[in-house]
Chains A and B, each alone.
Chain A
Amino acid sequence: MAKRIGIFVCHCGINIAGVVDVERVAKEMASYPGVAFSTTYQYMCSEPGQNLIRQKIEEENLDAVVIAACSPSMHEETFRNVCGEYFNPHMCEMANIREQCSWVHDSEEATEKAFKVLKATVEKLRGNEDLEPIFVPVEKRCLVIGGGIAGIQAALDIADAGHEVILVEKEPSIGGRMAQLSETFPTLDCSQCILTPKMVAVARHPNIKLMAYSEVIDISGYVGNFNVKILKKPRYVDEDKCTVCGDCEDVCPAIVPNEFDMSKKARKAIYIPFPQAVPSTYTIDREACLGLAPLACAQCKEACEADAINYDMQPEIVEEKVGAIIVATGYDLYDKERLVEYGYGEDDDIITSLEFERMLSASGPTGGKIIKPSTGEEPKKVVFIQCAGSRDRKHMPYCSSICCMYTAKHAMLYKHAVHDGEAYIFYIDIRATGKDYEEFIARVMEEERINYIRGKVAKIYREGDKIVVWGVDTLTGKKVEIKADMVVLAMAVIGREETRDIAKLLKVAVGEGNFLKESHPKLKPVEALSRGIYFAGCAQGPKDIPATVAQASAAASKVLAMFSRDKLEKDPMVAVVDEEHCSGCGICISVCPYGAMQRQPNGKAKCIEALCEGCGTCAAACPSNNIEMKNYSDSQIKRMVEVVI
């Protein structure tokens, strides 16, 4: 227990001393019980200030120190490091007399409050114990969930640094949405062409264990030590044997829509979603196949010279141990059916942006030809509607951030294909904040002679073979009526529904639009609140490919920083459960935002120290008053309150 406490009151220039009577505070606190020494200094955090602490600890034989200065979030580490040279750093506490004191009160009040804050801090310190840091071992393997460009990039970065990665993708192939795109703004390079090398690199990388057509079904453990269960769905085709000759596909009699082409093109029950798929193998769609059970058809098996087809393949559960997890489960478009005002779903000629993207793609359902779906003719007038479901209180209130750019791209590519065509774009604002984006928009507007109309669409309806789009041009105040051949909706970007399931498994938060909630919107944009879990790509929020790739590399670098050490060190200010008196009611487990409170086999709660951030929520919620925070015990808090009131 602290017996000789030293108090150092910081002037912080005039920040504190201009309001609080620091000299009086230091003088009077010198005689407070337990206090052996007290002084003031201009800037405690400066090098001379720190030296003053060192000098006085030695001269006055101090065994604990209170620094009355700014918020502990600013300088606690600084002062604990100084004190740690002499005694346990947890015998150093900060009394915040700036942010919640000198900055917000007038002189007299502030001085009074400074006394109270200091007394309470001294009382707390007198109840403090020496704490030793907690060390957690690290399993230097990373799980990446989602094989879109985000997951691919993160996996490659970590694997290149020499660590093993398990990349789990639920679809038969990695690639995600980027594989579906035609050309990419602002440079218009072919999406598939820049993506394929990365997909191949994943397939070849000795450090990447690719598990496509698989799903994560269970996650337990904590930072550095996660246990993951992955379900490998049966493909009924041996990945290693399949040569992708296509003989099976030729003979397969079952035909269904291809999801990869937004169901605008057909595929067989045995299929490869697109030619560049990785892993390069066929997959049998269980639902569509005639032969699986009962054995009614076995034409593919008969046709397969490589003998790769195995109807008896079973689902397999693989268990893996990893130290870090990156969630890169990507995005979906807002459900078209919900935009009743645009009449989508009822009309073949009103399509979504992703459907248009497939239409533009050379490998897409139309071989890159732009057609009016209902007739197959070339559409001469196309209306593009931005913010379809975005920036709309009735749907998604946020900006989907990529639609302005890809709509411009769509209009441009349309004009390149249909020279005499007319393109109209309804927009609210043009948001083109990326590098070279504004220039791209300007080029589209000027060179392509696209009709940009600022305003919202009021109504869409069919009239004969045309679709009539009604709106108001808010710049001229005039009503606009366009009789179009085709309408393309730039649907709101939302997080995938599956992200919610993954988030549940990981006990991380999901916000509006199914997007993962980061730990801090500015300073920790790729970190989950729970340690060891990171986010990348559109799973965290709508973004374009450059931002996705940058975020993926950021997440990878966080993982690599963690893997650069054999053990993680962590602040020992954690919760302690009195197990004997725990009833196992589960309240703490339910409220812990970090997943640190876990149920033991005997039903009682236990704090996983590696995960605990010391927030104290559990201690406050426990209805048996059975959880205490280290160095924030009830008796300490009671003493603190007593001296304050």
Chain B
Amino acid sequence: MKKKIAMYWGAGCGGCDVSLLGIHEKLLDVLEKADIVFWPCATDFKYEDLEKMEDGEIDIAFYNGAIRTEENEKIAKLLRKKSKILVAYGSCATEGCVIGLANLYDRDEIFNAVYLDNETTPNEKKIIPQGMEKEGIELPEFLPSLKTLEQVVKVDAAIPGCPPPSPVLEEALNALLEGRTEFGKEVALCDECPRKDTKPDKIEIERFYRWHEKEDDGSCFLAQGMICMGPATRAGCGGECTSAGIPCTGCMGPVPKVENQGIAMLSAIASIIEDMDEEKERAVMESIKDMVGTFYKFSTAKLLPYGRFKDES
């Protein structure tokens, strides 16, 4: 029997939906084995259609994007009810991704920045679009913090990546259609990085360079002093970025054995700084601009589900 599958787009950029289309003719193979019963981005189904389904009627539901609004949360719960297997699709659903960095700020700070203080957004009436209703359409409430799918409902499997790279996606789809919820590589990116053979015996860093500050000589980025998250990031993409001349930023998340990707990379980085006195060492570490954005670009929300603890003093 053909499986029933669904795909939902929560708080995210839309790249995940595109990534599913990005597997090209392989999508046809999927459609041979499965029918799409709900995919707002590509097909004309409505929430009512979803609500009308039996509980557990959907075999596999993919949820991409994070949970930022009441609406996201409602659909996540609904999909959970209607599906046998619920899959967190992509980095936002899995770890919170770039938009999860918003958890470093509270809701008011975000609204002020976006609607009031932003010079390129004229807003004379100082409107903050919350709790509004017009012609029966309601704007969903913005939640106090951004959540990953797992922080809201039980999740059966996760497909990493921002968005999931085609090889990762294909493997995941094959596995899920066969009923397996575990898939993906268990090693870090260096294993498949095209620059692997250029690693020196000893990586020693005397200062860090941002990507634009140094001409790439084609060798291991880390050895060149550019922070590459590869060592702490799950393999699968085949080194898409590093082969295109860009250091890995870690979108695939940590390897399964690691909980906290940022800490894993930070302790690795801290240990390969050249032997030098403390003051210099501090200067080197401070030369890393935007620590959180570098090491927790994708996992801030996973680690800070309620936002940052406020210093009350």
**Which residues in A have their C-beta under 8 angstroms from that of B197?**
603
**Cβ-neighbour of A623 out of B196, B220, B231 (below 8 A):** B231
Q: How far is the CA of A622 from the CA of B186 in the complex (A)?
A: 14
Q: How far is the CA of A584 from the CA of B220 in the complex (A)?
A: 12
A625 contacts B199, C-beta separation under 8 Å: no
Question: B253 interface residue, CB < 8 Å from A?
Answer: no
**Which residues in B have their C-beta under 8 angstroms from that of A589?**
201-203
Q: How far is the CA of A586 from the CA of B197 in the complex (A)?
A: 11
Q: How far is the CA of A622 from the CA of B232 in the complex (A)?
A: 8
B201 contacts A620, C-beta separation under 8 Å: no
A599 contacts B189, C-beta separation under 8 Å: no
CB distance from B288 to the nearest CB of A (A): 16
Question: A251 interface residue, CB < 8 Å from B?
Answer: no
Question: A11 interface residue, CB < 8 Å from B?
Answer: no
A585 contacts B255, C-beta separation under 8 Å: no
Question: A590 interface residue, CB < 8 Å from B?
Answer: yes
A625 contacts B257, C-beta separation under 8 Å: yes
Question: A621 interface residue, CB < 8 Å from B?
Answer: yes
CB distance from A469 to the nearest CB of B (A): 35
CB distance from A339 to the nearest CB of B (A): 24
**Cβ-neighbour of A587 out of B187, B196, B203, B257 (below 8 A):** B203
Q: Can you name the residue of chain B whose Cβ is closest to the Cβ of A509? A: B275
Quick one: CB contact mask for A555-586 with B, threshold 8 Å, 1 for yes? Answer: 00000000000000000000000001111111
Question: A15 interface residue, CB < 8 Å from B?
Answer: no
Q: How far is the CA of A584 from the CA of B195 in the complex (A)?
A: 11
Q: How far is the CA of A507 from the CA of B200 in the complex (A)?
A: 13
CB distance from B36 to the nearest CB of A (A): 36
CB distance from B294 to the nearest CB of A (A): 14
A583 contacts B187, C-beta separation under 8 Å: yes
B268 contacts A623, C-beta separation under 8 Å: yes
A626 contacts B257, C-beta separation under 8 Å: yes
Question: A624 interface residue, CB < 8 Å from B?
Answer: yes
A624 contacts B267, C-beta separation under 8 Å: no
B190 contacts A583, C-beta separation under 8 Å: yes
Question: B188 interface residue, CB < 8 Å from A?
Answer: yes
Q: How far is the CA of A479 from the CA of B283 in the complex (A)?
A: 43
Interface of A is mostly: loop
The tally of CB-CB contacts under 8 A between chains A and B is: 89
B230 contacts A585, C-beta separation under 8 Å: yes
**Which residues in B have their C-beta under 8 angstroms from that of A617?**
271
**Which residues in B have their C-beta under 8 angstroms from that of A620?**
267, 271
CB distance from A221 to the nearest CB of B (A): 14
**Which residues in A have their C-beta under 8 angstroms from that of B268?**
585, 587, 621-623
Question: A591 interface residue, CB < 8 Å from B?
Answer: yes
**Which residues in A have their C-beta under 8 angstroms from that of B203?**
586-587, 589-590
**Cβ-neighbour of B188 out of A507, A599, A621, A623 (below 8 A):** A623
CB distance from A228 to the nearest CB of B (A): 17
A586 contacts B267, C-beta separation under 8 Å: no
Q: How far is the CA of A599 from the CA of B198 in the complex (A)?
A: 13
A590 contacts B202, C-beta separation under 8 Å: yes
Q: Can you name the residue of chain B whose Cβ is closest to the Cβ of A585? A: B231
**Cβ-neighbour of A507 out of B191, B202, B265, B271 (below 8 A):** B202
Number of interface residues of A (CB under 8 A): 23
Q: How far is the CA of A359 from the CA of B268 in the complex (A)?
A: 55
Question: B113 interface residue, CB < 8 Å from A?
Answer: no
Near B by CB (< 8 A), chain A positions 580-632 give 580-587, 589-591, 599, 603, 617, 620-626
If the complex has contacts A603-B196, A623-B258, are A587 and B201 also in contact, measured as CB distance less than 8 A?
Answer: no
If the complex has contacts A584-B196, A586-B203, A623-B258, are A591 and B271 also in contact, measured as CB distance less than 8 A?
Answer: yes
A590 contacts B272, C-beta separation under 8 Å: yes
If the complex has contacts A590-B204, A623-B265, A625-B258, are A584 and B199 also in contact, measured as CB distance less than 8 A?
Answer: yes
A581 contacts B187, C-beta separation under 8 Å: yes
B257 contacts A581, C-beta separation under 8 Å: yes
Near B by CB (< 8 A), chain A positions 296-327 give none
Q: How far is the CA of A376 from the CA of B95 in the complex (A)?
A: 82
**Which residues in B have their C-beta under 8 angstroms from that of A582?**
187, 191
Q: How far is the CA of A585 from the CA of B272 in the complex (A)?
A: 12
A599 contacts B187, C-beta separation under 8 Å: no
Q: Which of B187, B203, B222, B258 has the most CB of A within 10 A?
A: B187
If the complex has contacts A623-B188, A624-B232, are A587 and B271 also in contact, measured as CB distance less than 8 A?
Answer: yes
A624 contacts B187, C-beta separation under 8 Å: yes
Question: B235 interface residue, CB < 8 Å from A?
Answer: yes
**Which residues in A have their C-beta under 8 angstroms from that of B196?**
584, 603
Near A by CB (< 8 A), chain B positions 179-237 give 186-191, 196-197, 199-204, 220, 222, 230-232, 235
**Cβ-neighbour of B264 out of A581, A599, A623 (below 8 A):** A623
A624 contacts B255, C-beta separation under 8 Å: yes
Near B by CB (< 8 A), chain A positions 45-90 give none
Q: How far is the CA of A582 from the CA of B197 in the complex (A)?
A: 15
**Which residues in B have their C-beta under 8 angstroms from that of A591?**
271-272
**Which residues in A have their C-beta under 8 angstroms from that of B204?**
590
Q: Can you name the residue of chain B whose Cβ is closest to the Cβ of A507? A: B202
Q: Can you name the residue of chain A whose Cβ is closest to the Cβ of B188? A: A583
Q: Which of B190, B222, B258, B264 has the most CB of A within 10 A?
A: B190
A625 contacts B264, C-beta separation under 8 Å: yes
A599 contacts B267, C-beta separation under 8 Å: no
Q: How far is the CA of A586 from the CA of B189 in the complex (A)?
A: 12
Can you spell out 16 A-B residue pairs with CB atoms less than 8 angstroms apart? A509-B275, A580-B187, A583-B187, A583-B188, A584-B196, A585-B190, A586-B203, A586-B231, A587-B203, A587-B231, A590-B204, A599-B199, A617-B271, A624-B232, A625-B255, A625-B258
B residues adjacent to A (C-beta < 8 A): 186-191, 196-197, 199-204, 220, 222, 230-232, 235, 255, 257-258, 264-265, 267-268, 271-272, 275
Which 6 residue pairs spanning A and B have beta carbons closest together? A585-B231, A583-B188, A623-B232, A583-B191, A585-B190, A583-B190
